[in-house]
Structure 1
Amino acid sequence: MADFQANLRPFAELDRAGRTRRLRRLAEAALTDYDVPVARLTPLARGRNTTFRVDGADGHRYVLRVERPDGPSVAQVRAEIAWLSALCRETDLVVPRPVPTRHREPATVVADPAVPEPRTCVLRHWVEGRFLDERLTPTQLYRLGEVTARLHRHGARMNGLDRGRVDDLSAFGRAQVDGFSATVVERAVALTGEDVRAALARVRAVRAALGFGADVFGLVHGGLHQENYLFHRGRVAVVGFDDCGYGHYAYDLAVTVEAIAHLPHRAQLREALLDGYRSVRPATFATDPAVLDAFAGLRRVQLRLRALDGTA
């Protein structure tokens, strides 16, 4: 074993394809913890985590997610799955249905000598549909707004889950008592530039003005961009719950708004999204334009930090 590891190129020096090849063997080991007869394992390109499509010999399809080493803890993964399981039991929303291990555990932790640390792995049923971007229509965004509001309404009942804040500035910020402290802000400015200071001051003021009441703050998806919602037979499906956590509802909508900002028909899409949301949750600050713009600014800074620092 020692000779095998000594001859391996360090994992950190591999490109994405090389890391995926290493993680494939780990994924194969993880699947032995499930009562799923595997016929084929195919890497998927989407997302920050490494994911594989699993074609079962029984004709069913699944997705196996291999968590990042700096990703959520096992307890946080359990909390994510608890919300997904509750959504599957209590609503007709189209979300990934978790698959427990043969020991009825929501996830498994697997080690491989070619990977420097153990990885948490989660298996879910495949969700059918198409991801869209330029071809998104106002009707589709209206439906997404409805679904987002229903997620928020359901999440309001899920108290005490072990999930962090989604609208803190960065992973460094989440590790501090105050995720928007002067230390956190100065670190962000040092990494991204002085131009972000005004945006951060604005969103901090908006967060303070909104407060943390149940009408404005709760459990949210945290990543409702075009790679996490898809369409099938007129319905919206939502995937990618690995960023879920507690935050202002407006932040969840702002993620969607910011992700469609490059589209020429963004104004119509935005209004349709908010109309759909208000059709389910009519009296809400989450759709206030100034509030949304502030959180969209936060999202832009978060993405810049993620690209530069790798910790957002």
Structure 2
Amino acid sequence: MAGSTANDRPFARLDRSGRTRRLRRLAEAALTGYDVPVARLTPLGRGLNTMFRVDGADGHRYVLRVQRADGPGTAQVRSEMAWLAALGRETDLVVPRPVPTRARGLVTVVADPAVPEPRTCVLCHWVDGRFVDERLSAPQLYAVGEFTARLHLHGARMNGLDRGRVDDLTEFGRSQVDGLSDAVLDRAVALAGGDERVRAAARRVRAVRAELGCGADVFGLVHGDLRQENYLFHRGRVRAIDFDDCGYGHYAYDLAVALDELKHLPQRDELRESLLDGYRSVRPDAATTDPAVLSAFAGLRRVQLRLRT
């Protein structure tokens, strides 16, 4: 009997390109739920989710996201889209704008026999811009700081959405009342091969969180992954994309992520001060931009990434 082909191979055994080919058919099915005339569908090679650029016959461009099976559930994705829609209505911040389905929903759930489980899909308008990385300038980081502060001002009003905490240490932590409890830390240390530095970093953040409290001046809905791949520039303005990790947390978490992503750049000190100056120009809150607070959250972020790889 001939060996199995890519078409009948189990989904879990496929490489990224093989899975993308399967998910393309699912994406095409999802698009039938939108009033968008599709001319071309192109896979995008970034991120944990499967993304497709959608070139419309109407001349507009969109991004379709097929949610990963182990990511946020449908209700949480709907909450993410609700925040993006509110940002589009209530601010001039440039973020992905959700496209409603024909039924006026913000998400659609699609199944395909070649994919093991139904997938949540969302369609957003394309965000024009370019990523800068090594050529980042102080004025650009000042603009990122301003943008982040204004995002937080809006996030402070977005209560009650179905989104988790951005500072949970592990998947197990997300299922607990406190994502940094001693039980969570014990499991995290074991996951890290007994490395007690994981416990030390988490306890440091626990102390900082307790000191900051959870008032609207320091805590709210945040982006959750504000690294260089998720902000871009167009005609002098900063824009943000990929809100898949958004959730509730201390505003300092977003700043810590953004700052830690600059550490490989020779001009990092200048960029750091510019970002914080831009943030403080909108939200002059010493607690959120305190160096010790930012350092603690940066340490937590590094541990989170280590434990998720």
> Helix, strand or coil for the counterpart of 2:296?
helix
CA distance in 2: counterparts of 1:5 and 1:103, whole angstroms: 38
Deviation readout 1:251-300 (Å, 9 max, x if unpaired): 01111011111212111111111000000001341100000000000000
Match of 1:234 among 212, 215, 236: 236
What is aligned with 2:305?
303
CA distance in 2: counterparts of 1:74 and 1:5, whole angstroms: 32
1:183 alignment partner AA: A
- Which ranges in structure 1 are unaligned for 5 or more consecutive residues? 308-312
Structure 1 residues 90-105: aligned runs within 5 Å: 90-105=90-105
What is aligned with 2:166?
166
Conservation of the 8 A alpha-carbon contact between 1:68 and 1:119: yes
The TM-score normalised by the length of structure 1 is: 0.95
> 1:158 Cα shift?
1.1
What is aligned with 2:276?
274
CA distance in 2: counterparts of 1:7 and 1:201, whole angstroms: 48
CA distance in 2: counterparts of 1:168 and 1:270, whole angstroms: 25
What is aligned with 1:310?
none
Conservation of the 8 A alpha-carbon contact between 2:53 and 2:63: yes
Matched, 1:223 2:225: yes
> Helix, strand or coil for the counterpart of 2:220?
strand
What is aligned with 1:29?
29
- Which ranges in structure 2 are unaligned for 5 or more consecutive residues? none
> 1:5 Cα shift?
11
Matched, 1:181 2:181: yes
Conservation of the 8 A alpha-carbon contact between 1:5 and 1:113: no
Aligned-residue RMSD, C-alpha: 1.5
CA distance in 1: counterparts of 2:99 and 2:88, whole angstroms: 12
Structure 1 residues 198-217: aligned runs within 5 Å: 198-217=200-219
Deviation readout 1:189-237 (Å, 9 max, x if unpaired): 1122233222112111111111111111111111100111000000001
Range with bigger deviation, 113-122 or 78-87: 78-87
- Quick one: structure 1 residues 18 and 6, their matched pair in 2 at CA, closer, same or farther if it must change by over 3 Å? closer
CA distance in 2: counterparts of 1:195 and 1:90, whole angstroms: 43
CA distance in 1: counterparts of 2:106 and 2:42, whole angstroms: 22
Structure 1 residues 8-47: aligned runs within 5 Å: 8-47=8-47
Range with bigger deviation, 186-195 or 240-249: 186-195
CA distance in 2: counterparts of 1:280 and 1:251, whole angstroms: 17
CA distance in 2: counterparts of 1:147 and 1:266, whole angstroms: 19
What is aligned with 1:50?
50
CA distance in 2: counterparts of 1:260 and 1:215, whole angstroms: 26
Which 4+ residue blocks in structure 1 deviate beyond 6 angstroms?
A: 4-7
CA distance in 2: counterparts of 1:74 and 1:150, whole angstroms: 27
Deviation readout 1:106-140 (Å, 9 max, x if unpaired): 01000011110000000000000001211111111
2:213 alignment partner AA: G
> 1:89 Cα shift?
0.7
CA distance in 2: counterparts of 1:235 and 1:61, whole angstroms: 20
Matched, 1:62 2:62: yes
> 1:6 Cα shift?
11
Identity over aligned pairs, percent: 78
Conservation of the 8 A alpha-carbon contact between 1:156 and 1:218: yes
Deviation readout 1:164-197 (Å, 9 max, x if unpaired): 1011112220111221111211111112223322
